[in-house]
Amino acid sequence: MFIMHIALQGCLRAHDVEYGITADTGGHIRYLLELAQASARDHAVERIDIVTRAFDTDFSEGDYRQACEYLNPKVRIVRLPTPDPNYRTKEALWDQLPAFTAALIDYIDGLERAPDVLHAHYADAADVAAQVKQSRGLPFVFTAHSLGLPKRQCAARAGQDVDTETADTQALERRIGFENTALRQADLVIASSRDEAEIQYADYPDYEPGRIRVIRPASDLQVFEKAESTSEVRRMLQRFLVEPDKPALLAIARPVTRKNLASLIRAYGESPALQARANLVILAGGRQSLDALEPEIADNLREMLHLIDHYDLYGRVAYPKQHSMADVPAVYAWARERRGLFANVAFNEPFGLTLLEAAAAGLPVIATDSGGPNDIIEQCHNGVLVNPCSTNAIAEAALALFEDRERWQACQTNGREAIALFDWSRHIDYYHRLLVRMRDPQPVRRGRTVPPQRDALLACDIDGTLVGCATSVQDFNGWYAGQAHMTFGVATGRSFHSALQILEQTGIDWPDFVVSSVGAEIHRLAADGVTYCRDAQWQAHIAEGWSRQAIVDVLAEMPELVSQSPLEQREHKISYLCEANTDIAPRLQDVLADRGLAARVIHSHGRCVDVLPERASKGAAVAWLADRYAVNRERVYVAGDSGNDVEMLRALPCAIIVANYCDGLIDASGLAHAYLARASHARGVIEGVEHFQAQSHAS
Ligand code: GLC
Ligand code: MG
């Protein structure tokens, strides 16, 4: 396989990347270089080119004009010249793109063999890749790294004036346009987090969730795991601080507006309690003179200095002027040795790499609730999410974690354990499987060459049914490989991307369909074998009589209901937690009916409450799919373990309850026909299907 990456932003080079030297020389470069290196370790990959733009600079000694630079024998950086010989920021790149695209097409035409796939990084590269795809028919994958639309929405929320005439606004609009082109034209979009896939992309005109796959970011973290503080770092920080051995609240970020370092200083400056408890340490890139920096960086640094002065934080805040890349792990370690915390309160953080570094270094985190950190905290349990616009929330969260030693310790332990999930070999394994299938849309599915006529359908709940026992999953995979006549899918309370993520994590092959959000959404695997298509007809069908906002308003008055996180809320699913162990479902149903609102309320696991359109449910969705796949209901097997499966199990004749069921499922009315398996989890599913198959053969 020959992969060609296209990446135009910042100062990209093979070694000693000058992170922070320009606003665009950030984490995406590290991501790209580590990705390429990890990718090259796979024997199936013969060659990787990273194509970028050649330019001269007056701010660096680095050679960014060299036509070809090798990272290793398989991976090279190729630099193509465009009319302007100078460095351009991402906002100013656009008029160089046509020339770059033409040069790239020439370059590809001159190669002995064309790449198998293009992988565009950042919006402007998507514009280039879309043109190359059009003219040379090469498939392309897109990774945004960071998106324009959430940035615009963020600015609007923060009440910043949007002047449509300014160059920055125009650049942002252009970028959003390119990102939408990618959604429309890319063969696959890779997102780093559910937040990116399900929320940040959702408002683009050509949003199609099934075209997006979440592949968890990875990072080489060994240096952070092993890090200890050094005497250089101690010297560098201690000269700022009157009490250098107090705990430190540490931030490491380029001083760009999105990173919101000003709010962190405000949070600290406005909280005498926090000042008494900890020092604030901010590593915000390096600088010689403020006047020589790009305007955005200079403005942010000036604001920081102004705030430090305004709150008179001298002796309590460290903000070194220079540091080397090698100092960074030691700075995390320095903070850990002082039982510190790491803070990333960006307005929006698509990725959150520094949170993984902090976790590896043993530092609990305070992280923005907007973007990738949601996923990281959910997976790692190594800190708390805060609203980045609330300085109060930031200060309170930090204080609470500083004060609770047990919690601090748990966050440290959890973070250190969980970072294993974010390693490159997992990432590459998934990424390459996607690329291989993309290249060969008629894959040998699970060992079968000719797809047989499929006349049976299996729909499994995920948590507690299909997954929950690793050896059971292995058995399931082996068993399923022999079920050539079966269409297989899942029916879950999770969202679509969350479902795909857990299946990937547990090693279950991509299902033919995904009924997600308790039946509120249906996706089917597309003919390309890689992406999914949303069932828009189902959406229209269940939308009948659904008054989302009115229901939200009515239920806001119920004190026992606590909203689940924004990620769990969907257009056709409103989810709460309710600790009160009462008959909450019928009660809510009555409350809503009294107000003339039609809805279905589902209670499960003793605490989850989902409110759905009346027509939506896992069972109805599976029945709908049985019709689409033209499978007789008698050959539809459904399996579940909990309250949110009851209705699905009731709705279909071949219903399987796995042995590890909960929510008193076995006593629920209307389930007399269900088969209660002796085995738990996926083994119970196999047992149940075999039971019904034997029954139908006997009759
Ligand atoms: C999953 C969903 C959650 C839902 C629950 C029960 O955990 O993430 O939103 O309430 O399933 O259906
Ligand atoms: Mg379950």
Check if the beta carbon of residue 395 is closer than 8 Å to that of residue 267: yes
* CA atoms within 13 A of residue 398's CA, in its CB half-sphere: 35
Q: Quick one: pLDDT at residue 294?
A: 82
Looking from the CA of residue 564, the nearest atom of ligand 1 is 9
Last residue of a domain, one of 147, 181, 214: 214
Query: For ligand 1, atom 10, which residue shows the shortest CA distance?
Result: 608
Q: Which of 518, 572, 574 to mutate to test the pocket of ligand 1 (most atoms within 8 A of CB)?
A: 518
| Binding site membership of 493 for ligand 1 (Cβ less than 6 Å) | yes
User: Tokens 């990347």 identify what position?
Assistant: 17
Residues near 459 by beta carbon (within 8 Å), at least 6 away in sequence: 489, 490, 491, 513, 515, 618, 622, 625, 636, 637, 638, 639, 648
Residue 532 lies in a domain: yes
| Binding site membership of 89 for ligand 1 (Cβ less than 6 Å) | no
Q: Where are the alpha helices (DSSP H) in 362-423?
A: 373-380, 391-403, 405-418
Residue 436 lies in a domain: no
Last residue of a domain, one of 568, 596, 612: 612
Q: Where are the alpha helices (DSSP H) in 486-567?
A: 496-506, 536-543, 548-555
| Binding site membership of 663 for ligand 1 (Cβ less than 6 Å) | no
Q: Quick one: pLDDT at residue 379?
A: 82
Question: Looking at the structure, do residues 309 and 396 belong to the same domain, yes or no?
Answer: yes
Q: Quick one: pLDDT at residue 331?
A: 98
Query: Order of strands across the sheet with 521-525?
Result: 532-534, 521-525, 513-516, 486-491, 456-460, 636-640, 654-657, 675-676
Question: Looking at the structure, do residues 453 and 407 belong to the same domain, yes or no?
Answer: no
Beta strands in 140-269 (DSSP E): 140-143, 188-191, 212-214, 248-252
Angle separating helix axes 261-269 and 295-310, nearest 10 degrees: 0
Tokens of 319: 């903000």
Residue 54 lies in a domain: yes
Question: Looking at the structure, do residues 138 and 280 belong to the same domain, yes or no?
Answer: no
Looking from the CA of residue 609, the nearest atom of ligand 1 is 10
DSSP one-letter string for 509-526: PPPSEEEEGGGTEEEEE-
Residue type, position 186, single letter: A
Question: Looking at the structure, do residues 369 and 451 belong to the same domain, yes or no?
Answer: no
Check if the beta carbon of residue 152 is closer than 8 Å to that of residue 162: yes
Question: Looking at the structure, do residues 55 and 10 belong to the same domain, yes or no?
Answer: yes
- The boundaries of the domain holding residue 38 are 2-214
Helices (H) and strands (E) in the chain, counts: 25, 26
Q: Quick one: pLDDT at residue 444?
A: 47
Q: Quick one: pLDDT at residue 357?
A: 94
Report how many domains make up the chain.
Answer: 4
Distance of CA 33 to CAs 6, 131, 491, 507, 630, Å?
12, 24, 38, 27, 47
Question: Looking at the structure, do residues 387 and 448 belong to the same domain, yes or no?
Answer: no
Q: How far is the CA of 154 from the centre of ligand 2 (A)?
A: 36
CATH of residue 654's domain is 3.40.50.1000
Question: Looking at the structure, do residues 135 and 199 belong to the same domain, yes or no?
Answer: yes
Question: Looking at the structure, do residues 640 and 661 belong to the same domain, yes or no?
Answer: yes
Q: Quick one: pLDDT at residue 499?
A: 97
Q: How far is the CA of 690 from the centre of ligand 2 (A)?
A: 21
Check if the beta carbon of residue 533 is closer than 8 Å to that of residue 559: no
Q: Quick one: pLDDT at residue 580?
A: 75
Residue 371 lies in a domain: yes
Residue 428 lies in a domain: no
CATH of residue 582's domain is 3.90.1070.10
Residue type, position 456, single letter: A
Question: Looking at the structure, do residues 167 and 249 belong to the same domain, yes or no?
Answer: no
Q: Quick one: pLDDT at residue 378?
A: 83
Last residue of a domain, one of 197, 214, 231: 214
Provide φ and ψ at 459, rounded to 5°.
Answer: -120, 120
Q: Quick one: pLDDT at residue 159?
A: 66
Q: Quick one: pLDDT at residue 167?
A: 81
Residue 176 lies in a domain: yes
Q: Quick one: pLDDT at residue 27?
A: 82
Residue 430 lies in a domain: no
Q: Quick one: pLDDT at residue 158?
A: 64
Q: Quick one: pLDDT at residue 581?
A: 67
Tokens of 630: 């033209």
Q: How far is the CA of 608 from the centre of ligand 1 (A)?
A: 6
Tokens of 406: 């047990």
Question: Looking at the structure, do residues 79 and 126 belong to the same domain, yes or no?
Answer: yes
| Binding site membership of 519 for ligand 1 (Cβ less than 6 Å) | no
CATH of residue 370's domain is 3.40.50.2000
Check if the beta carbon of residue 542 is closer than 8 Å to that of residue 516: no
Question: Looking at the structure, do residues 361 and 293 belong to the same domain, yes or no?
Answer: yes
Regions of the chain with pLDDT less than 50: 444, 447
Question: Looking at the structure, do residues 586 and 536 belong to the same domain, yes or no?
Answer: no
Query: For ligand 1, atom 9, which residue shows the shortest CA distance?
Result: 568
Residue 435 lies in a domain: no
Q: Quick one: pLDDT at residue 475?
A: 95
